[in-house]
Structure 1
């Protein structure tokens, strides 16, 4: 092989080119060769030009795509590459990373096109001949979803919608504009990409529930690619594909009690994972190391969320499948009056009672079976109501429903798509009837008072009378206790 043929081969093999000449700063702040991890390698090998990726946190997906786009700009004059991120802070970080890639590359290949700065969001690379005469240029834009703007009519050859699930969903003019703010931005950007060989559109994100355009886009690709209903190819990567996501028994970060090579007291979820690890060829020791890492991260997230939600957070940041990772937090009212998320009910195959309505009356009925219905393009609606309690960090509390899901409203059963803002719906939350309301009001005005903790307090001399009233308020699960004055 001659030197020139070796250069040609290197330039036509993008993976080999990146791993050979592109240095990158690793998580330990060291400059090292850009050697692909398994997820990055699969992204490079299986991408088709129109791709959408659901991936775990911190796997280097954005870095890979950014480097790929930069090489397009440096190798093919006239290329316009655009990355749209979800906020201004991330935009600044991406700009610095692109600059670092270029600075490192120019040390290895001094003949690269020269960099010219046009604005804080654009980098332009000028191609010159040996006489220094300009032959053309390429441009690399990075902007946030809130601030994205390009001259109308300018084509985009490489487009990345980065962390699309976290883009702002609200509309600035909700009454007059159709679609979310995110939808309008990426629709405008996608329409700038010509249908030419070599053009690329990538949508990349960690999961963030069902109530966003990324979820809609991914599900359409997953369900519709084979039938021609989506031009995108869906890619899903679980966290355990990352070799570094593991903790050995002697690692300083292992949780107390997890320092044995063989973990004890595996949960049902962990047992299922062990079976899956065996099916995909992960040996037993590595499997325990991965479970040990999983336990540590779930425990670490407990400081951010209430314990009942920690597993949900882990599944969002580090998905194990592309069903549970959509963060299904809609609450279901159980037969005993308590609530659980759909996530927990599905995971545990709950077989107890749930509350339902028969002839307008709440009644208990057992769960008799499970089935999965494909969405097939049905729209999702988020239903919120006054005093709805959030079960996640999201500001949008409530339930996510398919468009034909029926909701009991004051006018009867109404499909979610036909509900009107402001109308009354049944939530399953106990509400006092006429007699119960009279009892509560009379009690407050008569022989009780409301304490600082919003409790009805009585004198100890009328304890039996208070207990009798509590019996009439069983719907609200009252708790009676005595306090002893010093």
Structure 2
């Protein structure tokens, strides 16, 4: 086939990395919801997804946003633009695997004859091409997944529903080519390994890039569903549609996120048939709302979600606006240290400190609260040794008007307390009154956390949160509150694999606020 110079330039342009969307739009057709074969035109969410891909990616989403279809198209492009490529599409069950392979065949067969490679095999859920490329569709748990292959594009669908997901992911990751891409994509399924990976990615604690797509912004694929829902709603309500005056608090918040009345009528019908918790999980408006905890959660999940909705993205004060920040704190600002409210002259501040050993596991956390119960700043890091944290805490305390410190004595806390008092001469450290074996009252610096005292400070925290007596400005803290539970034995803490360091540091700060602790300097 001879090409004009103009067409040759267009093809060269389409073959370049960064033009994946235009390549797919030019050559691939898909079957739309009306069963018609049409060019692949990307929705805004699909464009954001494809244009934002890194090497490692994790996607939390609402149902049926068409991201799997995107990944099928990307795998076809990979195999044609780069011969000898190997792409792997892994589904959580056989039914889904069959569906993905059907979409793969449909898209592959829609290619122009001159572009579509000849195939060596096109069965058993694998397409092998004469150019050396292949695309394989398999189920999670298959023993031969990734065995012997170097993978250039991998899509793991509904990863939250996989069994032994961590072990399988490790195996697949080892087979990924240096320039390959890995996409983990799923709706939520409670607090599991997918939950952990997603929020670690969101908090920049692993190598993954996080994406979240809610049901409100994904409206373009559901237009007919919304129209039908309006008619059903009108039939049930004397031919009247939903008005703003009838909306509850959550629905009003959804309108602020962009939901239309048509979407809210559709939502009401979904909630009526499956329940609110199920809707939150499958059609979340925020990422924290997606992960429904059915266990004995101590904090009110609905209130957590409501508070998080009210927190703007990147709500901490920019470094350039903090002219008096000490050099030591400036070093960590925007990474481990965040200020949400400017400090005030003459204001009293309280800092709760939960220490770790700084070996990359649990976090050392400082939560700073004003005398009015507002969280004004936080510091967290899991790689700073206790002796180094002591200097940071001393600097933080002085910066916040010589704040009252409440340091838990466990882990690295004892050494931090000793260095604060005797090396840095810090005067305002909480003194806990205790009774020794002779029933004589003694005082010790710092807070001793045991089953009884932990229950007291956590229950005070819960009461303050439920009654609106405190203001939380940290999404990280809210995420920890969501996974903080009480076990059958009565012990309190984060669910397995999660952290509760920010929760404990906050509880320690609120305890000294409640008891009006103050010491002369």
Q: TM-score category by the smaller chain?
A: 0.5 to 0.7
Cα drift, residue 415 of structure 1 = 6.0
1:237 aligns with 2:219: no
Pick one of 82, 91, 100 that aligns with 2:88.
82
1:268 aligns with 2:272: no
d(CA) in 1 for partners of 2:166, 2:72: 22
1:128-207 equivalences in 2 (<5 Å) = 137-150=132-145, 152-168=147-163, 181-196=164-179, 199-207=180-188
CA 1:167–1:249 in structure 2 vs 1: closer, same or farther (change >3 Å)? closer
Aligned to 2:106: 100
Could you tell me whether the CA contact under 8 Å between 1:249 and 1:260 is conserved in 2? no
Cα drift, residue 48 of structure 1 = 1.9
1:125 aligns with 2:133: no
Aligned to 2:291: 326
CA 1:343–1:192 in structure 2 vs 1: closer, same or farther (change >3 Å)? same
1:253 aligns with 2:232: yes
d(CA) in 2 for partners of 1:97, 1:249: 26
For the pair shown, the structure with the greater C-alpha radius of gyration is 1
Q: Secondary structure at the match of 1:208?
A: coil
Could you tell me whether the CA contact under 8 Å between 1:330 and 1:342 is conserved in 2? no
Aligned to 2:352: none
Could you tell me whether the CA contact under 8 Å between 2:483 and 2:495 is conserved in 1? no
CA 1:408–1:104 in structure 2 vs 1: closer, same or farther (change >3 Å)? closer
Aligned to 1:353: none
1:215 aligns with 2:195: yes
Deviations 1:25-74 (A, max 9, x none): 11222212111111101111211232111111111100101110111112
Cα drift, residue 241 of structure 1 = 0.8
Could you tell me whether the CA contact under 8 Å between 1:73 and 1:139 is conserved in 2? yes
Deviations 1:170-216 (A, max 9, x none): xxxxxxxxxxx2111111001111223xx211011111111x22111
Could you tell me whether the CA contact under 8 Å between 1:408 and 1:414 is conserved in 2? no
Pick one of 30, 49, 52 that aligns with 2:36.
30
1:2 aligns with 2:2: no
Aligned to 1:312: 277
Pick one of 83, 93, 109 that aligns with 2:113.
109
Could you tell me whether the CA contact under 8 Å between 1:84 and 1:148 is conserved in 2? no
TM-score by length of 2: 0.57
Higher helix share: 2
Cα drift, residue 250 of structure 1 = 8.9
1:374 aligns with 2:469: no
Could you tell me whether the CA contact under 8 Å between 2:230 and 2:266 is conserved in 1? no
CA 1:207–1:332 in structure 2 vs 1: closer, same or farther (change >3 Å)? closer
Could you tell me whether the CA contact under 8 Å between 1:118 and 1:124 is conserved in 2? yes
Cα drift, residue 273 of structure 1 = 1.6
Aligned to 2:261: 288
Aligned to 1:429: none
CA 1:141–1:375 in structure 2 vs 1: closer, same or farther (change >3 Å)? farther
d(CA) in 1 for partners of 2:116, 2:228: 47
Cα drift, residue 121 of structure 1 = 3.4
Query: Alignment RMSD, CA only?
Result: 3.5
